[in-house]
Chains A and B, each alone.
Chain A
Amino acid sequence: MSAALVIAAHEWRRLRVQAWSWLLLAGVIGLLAWIFLGRLDSFLRVQESTGNAAHVGATAQVAAPALGWLAIVLIVLVPLLGSRSIAGERRAHSLSLLLAAGVGDGAIAVGKWLGLYAWLLLIALTALLPLSLYGSTELDLGRLAANGLALVLHAAALAAIALYASSVTAQPVLAAALALLINIVFCVVDLGARAAGVSNSLINWLALPTHFGPLSEGVVASVDLVWFVLVTAVFLALTARQLASLRSAD
């Protein structure tokens, strides 16, 4: 486990010294702030016109939608951030450093994932924006906590998917495209079933919105938590397997 933490700290350091990571972070924070303030402005206009002095409903009208947007942004952002994690190392011929060290493939996968995930949690700090309303309105803290949990789990799964895609190819651009494709498939896999009025089948269970939706509405169910944990674990296992195959393939 300590090897995984060493790799995680190294991955974090590599992200930290790249201007690209900071630009993406700044872009996301700026976008989220803009969405949040826009929603807040609309909310205040409606409240003034209806005379709701207590500003009841700020969580549902301002905070939850802003965090929902953050989840969508992460679907695009995480493939970009994670694409170089292994593909970039293969391209720069530095992966042999990890493969030749006395570190297991699982520890490499977990370490890389932890480093990327730690960076994503920095972005997820923008989820604290709605707390700025605390004291001036009636915030539903339970629902906000559920939203935060949803984002943390969502980021974990997306990071594992991005890492797996990055292990499949030595081209970071292809890795980003593959991760984005997997994310989109998870988002739309049950669209057909829903259009046909089916909402309780296996295909629905596979879809990301099926599990993110209830959490963002404040309903914390174990089935949704298990889905995120499973997706994360499966893609980490696939990454470790892919690393092992790099030792037997060229």
Chain B
Amino acid sequence: MLVARAARGHNRAPVADPVSAPALRTDRISRTLAGHRVVDALSLDVARGEVLGLLGVNGAGKSTTLRMIAGVLAPDAGQVLLGGQDLYEAPELARRGIGYLPERAPLHAELAVDECLTFCARLHGLPRRDTVAAVGREIERCDLGEVRRRLIGQLSKGFQQRVGIAQALLHAPTLVVLDEPASGLDPVQSLRMRELIRALRADHAVILSTHLLAEAEACCDRIAILHRGVLRHDAAVTAGETARLEQLFLRIAADLDSAAA
């Protein structure tokens, strides 16, 4: 039953119209790493203004999926479509529509926060005249004002994650890809991170990976559960569903583990 639900969207033709097309569509993307099928024929849609949570246990294929969506790792098969355009056909242009925060924030410890963000803005193709405004806007949005002149290597994990999110937002991307953004944060920092992610919905489509059900429920409009690279569940989520999601999560893991045995 779960597999049948997950099959929703397979065999869909790419949508060419960038206006009506979803912000993100993955069309049966697969990836094998070191001889192991990490992601298998995964199809997902993320609409503009939507936050999709990608859940799964460790090794479920979440990070690999996000890396393919961000254009850092090419899929073996299938397509990643951004606004209807194939990410790997015009990768340089398409990647400018994506903001990506990997599991470990890709920051240079030896640079100050504003120095690093200025570099990221320029790297994403922002003209020099717009860079100062964009950096100021994201420093304010991510609440980094008090540390903007400090070296990134001297910041706490929470601040580093916020700098990571700021760099992903500088160029106002259509799609924001966040890989375990609350990983390693204390409870207060996690709450702030959730608020920030919820606020992103206004301007971006967001896909985030997590293995924390409460976080997914708090931030996401829809949840997709991956297990061993296969999409097992894809449905909207409403408040107060943590217990139901927990049961579903355990059932998916148990179903597959017993099938494998």
What residues of chain A have their CB less than 8 Å away from a CB belonging to chain B?
A: 3, 6-7, 10, 13-14, 17-18, 92-104, 247-248, 250
Q: Which 5 A-B pairs have the closest CB atoms?
A: A102-B96, A97-B106, A102-B95, A100-B100, A93-B104
A101 touches B73 (CB 8 A): no
Once A3-B123, A13-B115, A250-B34 are accepted as A-B contacts, the answer to whether A99 and B72 lie under 8 Å apart by CB is yes
Chain A residues in 8 Å Cβ range of B73: 247-248, 250
Give the nearest-CB partner of B108 in chain A. Answer: A94
In the bound complex, what is the Cα–Cα distance between A101 and B102 (angstroms)? 13
Instruction: Write out the residue numbers on chain A whose beta carbons fall within 8 Å of the beta carbon of B107.
Output: 94, 97
How distant is A44 from chain B, measured CB to nearest CB, in Å?
45
Query: Digit string of B45-74 for contact with A (CB within 8 Å is 1, else 0)?
Result: 000000000000000000000010011111
Task: Indicate if the CB atoms of A14 and B110 lie closer than 8 Å.
Answer: yes
The answer to whether B106 and A94 have CB atoms under 8 Å apart is yes
Instruction: Known pairs A6-B123, A101-B124; list 10 more (Cβ under 8 Å).
Output: A6-B122, A14-B110, A96-B102, A101-B95, A101-B96, A102-B124, A103-B92, A103-B123, A247-B72, A250-B73
Contacts of A14 in B (CB 8 A): 108, 110-111
For this complex, 17 residue pairs linking A to B, each with C-beta atoms less than 8 Å apart, are A3-B123, A6-B119, A13-B111, A14-B108, A93-B106, A94-B106, A96-B67, A97-B106, A97-B107, A97-B123, A99-B72, A100-B102, A100-B106, A101-B123, A102-B91, A102-B93, A104-B92
Q: Count contacts between A and B, CB distance < 8 Å.
A: 73
What is the bound-complex CA distance between A104 and B91, given in angstroms?
A: 8
Cα(A84)–Cα(B136), bound, Å: 31
Q: Which residue of B lies closest to A6 (CB)?
A: B122
Closest to B68 in A: A247
Q: Cβ of B167: which chain A residues have Cβ within 8 Å of it?
A: 97
- Is residue B109 contacting chain A, with contact meaning CB distance below 8 A? yes
**Distance to closest chain B CB from A108 (angstroms):** 10
- Knowing A13-B115, A94-B108, the reply to whether A247 touches B124 (Cβ < 8 A) is no
| Known A102-B94, A247-B73; contact A96-B111, beta-carbon cutoff 8 A | no
Q: Would A100 and B71 be within 8 Å (CB), given that A14-B108, A92-B109 are in contact?
A: yes
List B105-137 residues whose CB lies under 8 Å from chain A: 106-111, 115, 119-120, 122-125
Q: In the bound complex, how far is the Cα of B67 from the Cα of A92, in angstroms?
A: 17
What's the Cα separation between A12 and B120 when bound, in Å?
A: 15
Q: How near does chain B come to A239, taking the closest CB pair, in angstroms?
A: 17
Contacts of A104 in B (CB 8 A): 92
CB under 8 Å from chain A, chain B span 3-53: 33-34
CA A18 – CA B103 in complex, angstroms?
26
Of A93, A100, A248, most B-chain CB atoms within 10 Å? A100
Chain A residues whose CB sits within 8 angstroms of the CB of B102 once the complex forms: 93, 96, 100
CA distance A3 to B126 in the complex (A): 10
Residue of B nearest to A98 (CB): B123
Which residues in A have their C-beta under 8 angstroms from that of B119?
6, 10, 13
A96 and B106 form a contact (CB under 8 A): yes
Chain A CB within 8 A of B98 CB: yes
Query: Which chain B positions have C-beta within 8 A of A95?
Result: 106
- Given A97-B167, A247-B74, also A102-B92 (CB < 8 A): yes
Given A95-B106, A104-B92, CB of A250 within 8 Å of CB of B33: yes
Residue of A6, A96, A247 most packed against chain B (CB within 10 A): A96
CB interface residues, B 230-256, toward A, < 8 Å: none
A88: nearest residue on chain B (CB-CB)?
A: B108
Restricting to B139-172, which residues have a CB under 8 Å from any CB of A?
A: 167
